[in-house]
Each structure stands twice: as C-alpha cells, then as structure tokens.
Amino acid sequence: MTEDTIKRRARGLDRAFDILDFLKEIGQPLRPNDIANGIGSPKSTVYELVASLLERRILEPVGKDGHVYLGRQLYFLGQAHLRHFDLSREADHALQEIVSQTRETAQMCLLNGRKYTVALMKEGERHFRISSDIGENAPIPWTASGRLLLAHLSDQQINDLIDPDDFILPDGERLPMETFLKEIRQAGIDGFFSFDSVADTFTHCFAAPVKDPSGVAICTLCIVAPRADAKTNYSDYRRVLIESANSLARRINE
C-alpha cells in the first residue's frame, strides 16, 4: 500500500466520522446532499461514504426520500464498549447509589473535545423529572463540571481550548475569562464546585471530580436538584457527591 493510498484512506475515515458526528449533533435523518453541505465536504465523496456506511449498517435508511441516520450497529458497538469499559460500568453503580441517597438526578460528565457532555444519567426518584440529553454537547463555561475538568490546564491552555462564543451565557451576558479562571482554580483546590444552573432558572448543579492517579479529572459526578432542595440539603448532597467521586476513583485506579 502506497503512502498516498494510506493518506487517502485516512482522509476518508476522518470524513466518515464527520458524517457520524454531524448526524449526532443534528439529531434527525438527513439526505447525503444536506450532510455534505453541513460538513463542507464534496458531495460525491459523501455519497460514496454514506453508501459504504449503509452497507456496514453504521447508517440506516429512513423513509423513502433518501434520508439516512445512525444505524443500530453503532448501538451494538457501544454495548461492546461498555462491557469492557470499567469507568462506565463503575460510574453507573455510583450514580445509582447517589440517587438512592439523595433522590436527586445524578450524572457522569466528560469533556468531548472543546465541549462538555453528559455521558451517563440516572433520573431522580421524584414525581417530576430533571433530565438532560445524553451525548448532547454544551459550552464548557455553562457547566459546574467544566470548572473541575479544566483544573489541570494552564490559563493559556484553557483560553486556547474554549471558543470565545461559548462564554456568552444563555441570558446573553458574557462570562469574563478572569472570573472563569478564578472559579477553576478555586474548584481545583476544593475538589468540588456548585452553582445555580445558567441553562434554567430552577435547578442547582453540584459537581465533584473523579481523578486518575496523576490527579487529573477524567470525569465528574454531578447532582442536579431543584434550587430549594439544594439549599436545604446542600451539606448532605456535597458530602454524598464527594464521597461517591472519591470511591469511584479508587475503584477504577486499582
């Protein structure tokens, strides 16, 4: 295999992942033509890749108008991954324990490139539900977890990582970089961060880091609670969350 062939296949693989990421972000079936426009790739290339992904059931046809969407083969691949991924398996147990102790919604959160995402979630034991879309990307500065997941980075690395537009909060206000950095450094010292959610007006978010042996947060465990309940039970929720995060870290680092 020549070097040119290897590079061409690598570019094709990159574009195939661009297709999958774009469909995940849009969240609905699309025609190959629309995908090509969305990811800025040649239509002929996208049509060829879509055909290959359909053949392997990574994509599936939807309807009769040429739309495609993420295929069930991805589900089976994901299940195989989870069976052998200690963090997800152990985190699932940790979230169940948090819910049993607090009755609140619990989440495991990660960085996904330059964004934040909820990777796992257990809904709280309440008559009304607080939930998030698993796998949906959000701006890091909007999140309590973001302060902890960036704590190992330098100020310059943080500045380079985050899109400047991500500092614009849902209410239109801009979060100053100086404030964000100060909160990150304090969160790193405390091993904990919480605040009233900037994405809605009725929840409070708690986050604690799950660290690797070098002290870097590989994920966070979170509690999302109604603000009134968060205020009443603040100390208990903080204790439960930190204990759960530390226990999870010990299990996966053994």
Q: What is the pLDDT of residues 97-128, one digit of tens each?
A: 999 999 999 999 999 888 999 999 998 876 66
And the tokens for 51? 């055909």
CA 161, CA 30: separation in Å to the nearest integer?
30
Residue spans of the domains in the chain: they are: 3-75, 85-252
Alpha-carbon torsion 42, 46, 48, 49, what sign? positive
Q: Which CATH class is domain 3-75?
A: mainly alpha
- pLDDT on residue 180: 96
Evaluate whether 99 touches 106 at the Cβ level (below 8 Å).
yes
Helix 86-102 to helix 234-253 angle (10° resolution) is: 160
CA 46, CA 66: separation in Å to the nearest integer?
13
- pLDDT on residue 128: 60
CA 154, CA 156: separation in Å to the nearest integer?
5
CATH architecture, domain defined by 85-252 = 2-Layer Sandwich (3.30)
And the tokens for 239? 């204790």
CA 150, CA 66: separation in Å to the nearest integer?
42
- pLDDT on residue 221: 96
Radius of gyration of the chain (CA): 20
- pLDDT on residue 150: 96
- pLDDT on residue 81: 66
CA 71, CA 59: separation in Å to the nearest integer?
4
Evaluate whether 112 touches 219 at the Cβ level (below 8 Å).
no
- pLDDT on residue 107: 95
H-run or E-run covering 98: helix 86-102
Where the chain has pLDDT below 70, the residues are 1-10, 81-86, 126-133
| Cβ contacts of 56 within 8 Å, gap of 6 or more | 73
- pLDDT on residue 85: 61
Of the candidates 203, 154, 160, 163, the residue with the CA atom closest to the CA atom of residue 181: 154
> Parallel, antiparallel, or unpaired: how do β-strands 137-138 and 193-196 relate?
unpaired
